[in-house]
Structure formats: C-alpha cells, structure tokens
Amino acid sequence: MLTNSSQLLLRNTSLFAQQSVLVINIEADHLAQELLSTTQSVTALALDYNHYQQLKPLENNQLSVHFGHQLPELNTFDNVIIYFPKAKPLAGYLYQLAAQYLDVGGSVFLVGENKGGIKSAPKTLPDYFSKATKLDNARHCLLYVSELMESAPELSTKDWCSQYLLPTPQGELTICNMVGVFSQKQLDAGTALLLENITEFQGRVLDFGCGAGVITAALLKAQPELKLECVDINAMALLSCELTLKANNFRAKVYPSDGLAQVEGELDGIVSNPPFHDGLMATTDIAERFVKDSANALTDKGVFQIVANRHLPYSDALQQHFGKVNTTAENNKYKVYQN
C-alpha cells in the first residue's frame, strides 16, 4: 500500500523517465521500487529505520537503499525527491542535503500532505533554488518542482545543530540537538523526574529511544564505568546523540534499532523515557511489546527503569512480564517505574 504522497508521485512517473533519482526521507512503502518502471535507477535515503527496513529487502542493481542523515558517498543525480518532513525545521536541512546531490540545472521535487505543511514549502526554499512550481495535487497532497540555480554551500552538520548547556541532577551537560529532534533546551519534566530518581546501574545498559542522548550523558556523568548503548529509530536523533557524547568526552555505542530487534545479547539494565505518546491508537500494544522485549533481554538481575505518562498502560505490562510493579517516584503527570 502506497501512502497518499507516494500515490501522487506514482501518477507522475513520466517526470523521471530514464533519469537517476534520489528519494530522501522515504515513507513506509515501496514507492522507490515502483519508480523503477520508468527510471534508470533509484537511490533511497531513509531517516526512519523502520522505513529503511521495509525497503532494504527489495534492493537490487537499480535500487540502492540507505539509512542515515546523508548518503555514505557524494553522488550526483538527475532529480531528487523530498518527502516534506513532519518536523518543519528539518525541511531546510533536507533542501541543502538535496542540493549536494544535484548539478546546477537539476530538479528537486517536493511532495507531502496538505495537513503536513507542504503548502509552506515554496516559501522556505533557499535562494539557490528557483521559485517552486506546483505540478499536481490529489489525495490531499501537493507536488512541487524547483531547479537548482547555483551550487549550494557545502553541508555542515554544525549549521543545523543547536548546542546548549543543560543542568541535570548529575551535573551540567553539553547537549547537541540536530533539527527535527524534539528539544526544549531544558530538561523535560519526565526526564527530570527520572534523573532525580535514577537507580545505580551496573554493566551493560541500554538507553532506549535515546534522542539527543540526555539520559546517557547524565548516567555517564555519574557512572563513567558503565557500558552504555544508545538506540533510536531516527537518524537525526542518533546523530544528535553522537554529537552530545563527543561534546562531553563520553563514549557509548550508538546504533539504530526498531524496538529492541537490533540489540544483541543480554543487558544488565534498560533505561528510557519511551518515545510512545498519547493520541496513538497503538500506544497500548507498543508499550506492552517494549516491556515484554525488555524482560526477555535483561539478565536475571537486570534493572528496568523508565518514566512515562502516569495514565499510560505500563503497570499492567510490568505486572504481566516482570511479575511486579514498583513505582519509585511520581508526580501529577509522570511515574517512574522499576522492575
């Protein structure tokens, strides 16, 4: 099943006939494969690891699939397609990224849903692109095209990263936050409650949904002997975490994982402010799966500690998979759970 944005692209495949195409910020479908019916070749860059996993098995001589904040090599394409991001500040980064892979005269196509902010795309294009032209609209989506008029500045992650000092119960940290990664430039209330009541971990500890690496950095500030591993599904979050670790002279293993699927071996600890929020129909199922997978991944004496909105269904899941529920701290919005 193609997303609405992908269906709009599919009815315009003649635009890419016999062209080499780069698709950036791919969605959870097989549009990149569908484009092979008319294109010369397609390269897909996923910023979401789950989207990458869905397309990677279809890779062939004409289809190349990558995960990350940029391609591993600087190649040039005839056209670049950008799926307009839900996090609008990320759009500017994607525009400059696309320009790195185009020669002057090459085209960038912008596609997205109206409710996702695609209407603002023409106003946000940098000066090195021509004024965007609307090509098509259907299924509550829009498709624009623009031409690269002159070479863009070389892309530097520093230009798209905010760095700030963050006081925590463990001490002051330097946090590096790439565009598109949630940040308040202050310790959010849930993480603050967790860090104020953090247990003493030992051995190999996983920071699940690491984001910019605040929890990991705080743990290493207090316990530098820990072997921290940081996983997230978002490429910009993983980059943020790596930059945060470097800025504080800390070391940890940072890698993508869809849930705990890519985490190998047993863990002595799991800590998290889980990235599962209200308003998602699957919140209950996701929370239960996370707790179940965590219980299976921990050693017999392994420690599981998370903070979550107090009305999310973690108590039931903990009771089912750990056999007990310990609430070690709480306020009017959050609870800190521990096995």
Domain ranges of the chain: 4-153, 158-338
Per-residue pLDDT, 288: 85
> From CA 208, how far away is CA 33, in angstroms rounded?
31
> From CA 314, how far away is CA 286, in angstroms rounded?
10
Please tell me what DSSP assigns to residue 259.
T
Q: What would the pLDDT profile of 85-101 be if each residue is shown by its tens digit?
A: 999 899 999 999 999 99
Per-residue pLDDT, 283: 62
The single-letter code of the amino acid at 154 is E
Banded pLDDT at 281 (limits 50, 70, 90): very low
Q: Domain 4-153 is in which class? A: alpha beta
Burial string for 85-98 (b: 16+ CB within 10 Å, else e) reads beeeebbbbbbbbb
The two three-digit tokens of residue 62, written as one number: 């004409």
pLDDT at 259 over 70: yes
> From CA 209, how far away is CA 256, in angstroms rounded?
9
> From CA 338, how far away is CA 331, in angstroms rounded?
16
Fold match, 4-153 / 158-338: yes
Q: What would the pLDDT profile of 167-220 be if each residue is shown by its tens digit?
A: 999 999 999 999 999 777 788 899 999 999 999 999 999 999 999 999 999 999
Share of the chain above pLDDT 90, in %: 89
Give the closest residue to 272 by CA, choosing from 201, 200, 216, 323. Answer: 216
Per-residue pLDDT, 280: 42
Per-residue pLDDT, 324: 86
Give the CA distances from residue 232 to residues 85, 89, 208, in Å, rounded to whole numbers and listed in that order: 18, 20, 7
Per-residue pLDDT, 27: 96
Q: Domain 158-338 is in which class? A: alpha beta
pLDDT mean over 9-32: 97
Q: What is the pTM of this model?
A: 0.95
Residue 297, number of CB atoms within 10 A of its CB: 18
Per-residue pLDDT, 277: 58
Give the CA distances from residue 227 to residues 129, 141, 223, 232, in Å, rounded to whole numbers and listed in that order: 46, 46, 10, 17
**171: β partners:** 168
Query: E strands along the chain, which residues?
Result: 20-24, 41-46, 63-67, 77-83, 102-113, 133-138, 141-147, 161-168, 171-178, 204-208, 227-232, 253-256, 267-272, 298-309, 326-330, 334-338
Share of the chain above pLDDT 70, in %: 98
> From CA 38, how far away is CA 36, in angstroms rounded?
5
